[in-house]
Structure 1
Amino acid sequence: MEAALIIMALMVLFTFLGLGVWVTVKVVGAAKRGVDRTITQARRTVEDTSLKARSFGQVGVVGALAQIRLDLRMSMRSTQQALYQGVQTDASLRESIGLFERLSAHGHELDDELKRLEQEPDKKRIADRLPELRERADRVVQASDSLRWAARDRARKFAEDDLSVLSAQIEVESGALRDWSRESVDDLAGWPAEPTAAPAPAPPGPERGQAPAAALPKPPERTGYPWEKTAHPVRPETTT
């Protein structure tokens, strides 16, 4: 019996140890991915700033290559962000993301080639290839822009349709709220209409030969409404 308890305790201990190791690995992996994303974002920011500086500060093939790379990167990045954000609410964009991934392969290949050419000392050879490189970049940018604007137009169309339906529903509800009849108030409050009081029995008439008694005016009854709170009686204060 004691051996079984010891074995069970060891199994529980190993289970907790294994769970602790698994949690540690997950935490370390998440932290590493966070650091990698931060480093990638910082490197990307530095490279974009350098490209902007070269595109504005240098003339000739060096400035032209920097501008082509900058236009390519900005378009692809904007399209990627639009598609991956839009697919969270519109699953039909998954096919568009597949096409964008194929387009990204061409974009990365072209960007790497442009980056290598920036280090090429033969500027004449680069100038000869510049029209062909710019034409390839324009095709990639046009395809990327087409996907991005199509996704945005789709999202805007869905938003406009939803707003139209919502506006029509609000107009119907507003018309119902403007019905001031008592029946509408009773229905909205959820209370039945007040029952009609039964007529009071007529007092017996005066006997023959007697004068009719003067009738006292009956005080008007106050009509209550369902939304009014019931007044609570005031308790007399006690003196100790």
Structure 2
Amino acid sequence: MEVGAVVIIFALVVLFAFLGLGAWATVKAVGAAKRGVDRTITQARRTVEDTTLKARSLGQVGVTAGLAQLRLDLRASMRATQAALYQGVQADGSLKESIALFERLSRHGHELDDELKRLEQEPDRKRIAQRLPELRERTAKITESADSLRWAARDRARQFADEDLATLSAQIEVESSALRDWSRESVDDLAAAAAAWDADQGQGQGLRSAAGGAGGGAAGASAQGRAPGQQHRPALDASTPAVGHPWQKTPRPEATS
């Protein structure tokens, strides 16, 4: 009975663990889906608003067109800078300080955009017209700062890319020169070939000495019958491995620099 109770308790614990894990996964999935829907709604609302602003800036005149154009300029500059910085920081961590400055600038940008949006509903067009020069100046200050950050980040990335390309081109040129230098013999290969030649000569002399001792008197008589200046020339031994000429190239791995 005690064993059965333990098994039942263990099964219940496993069941509750799976239920908890399933509930957690469901909550995560619902949260991800909700965030996806929120992003879609925000993007759609932003697209509609931008389209409306473009229509106002082109289809109307006076204060309404001026406010719409200021909002378009502000939003376009801030979005482009945000995209450039947040994409660039993935490859260049030093842009984190630039992002911190941009976040501070964004607060001023949002305040100005909200103010311009409220002024679009303001019925007193004369007073808005009087404020337009000041609003243009504020917009210009924010957009110029954003543009400065964006172009500085792009110039930095392009400089790094140019330097990397120059280094890579130099390395490729060195490698190409090494690949084309097929006539140069390695010092190690020459030393190995010379050692093999010396070993073969030593082995040949040992074989000749052994053959002279085994031949005895016959070899001596044959040697005495030779002319005084004639040297003995041993026959090729089939058991002796043939060694290539020392100037023959040996296979070697491709040189790299």
TM range (shorter): 0.7 to 0.9
Question: Which of these two proteins has the greater Rg computed from alpha carbons?
Answer: 2
2:153 match = 151
2:108/2:142 contact within 8 Å kept: yes
- Paired position in structure 2 for 1:142: 144
Give the CA deviation at 1:206: 10
Partner of 1:64: 66
- Deviation (angstroms), 1:226: 4.7
The answer for the alignment partner of 2:55 in structure 1 is: 53
The equivalent residue for 1:233 is none
- Unaligned residue ranges in structure 2 (runs of 5+): 209-218, 227-235, 237-242, 253-257
Give the corresponding residue for 1:99: 101
1:11 aligned partner: 13
Equivalence map 1:128-139=2 (5 Å): 128-139=130-141
TM-score, structure 1 as length reference:
0.79
Equivalent in 169, 172, 177 of residue 171 of structure 2: 169
State the aligned residue count.
217
- Bigger RCO (CA 8 Å, 6+ sep): 2
**Within the alignment, does 1:183 sit opposite 2:194 as a pair?**
no
CA contact (8 A) 2:50 2:72 kept: yes
Contact 2:81/2:149 (<8 A) preserved:
yes
TM-score by length of structure 2 reads 0.74
Percent identity at matched positions? Answer: 68
How far the C-alpha of 1:51 sits from its partner, in A, is 0.9
Kindly provide the amino acid, as one letter, of the partner of residue 12 in structure 1.
V
Q: What secondary structure, in the 3-state scheme, does the structure 2 residue paired with 1:121 have?
A: coil
Aligned Cα root-mean-square deviation (Å):
3.0
Separation of aligned partners in 1, 2:88 and 2:249: 55
Structure number with higher helix proportion: 2
Note the alpha carbon deviations across 1:18-47, whole angstroms, 9 max, x for none: 111111111111111111111111111111
Residue 75 of structure 2 corresponds to 73
Equivalences for 1:35-54 in 2 at 5 Å? Answer: 35-54=37-56
Give me the whole-angstrom Cα distance separating, in 1, the residues matched to 2:164 and 2:100. 28
The answer for unaligned runs of 5 or more in structure 1 is 210-217, 228-240
Return the offset for 1:77. Answer: 0.2
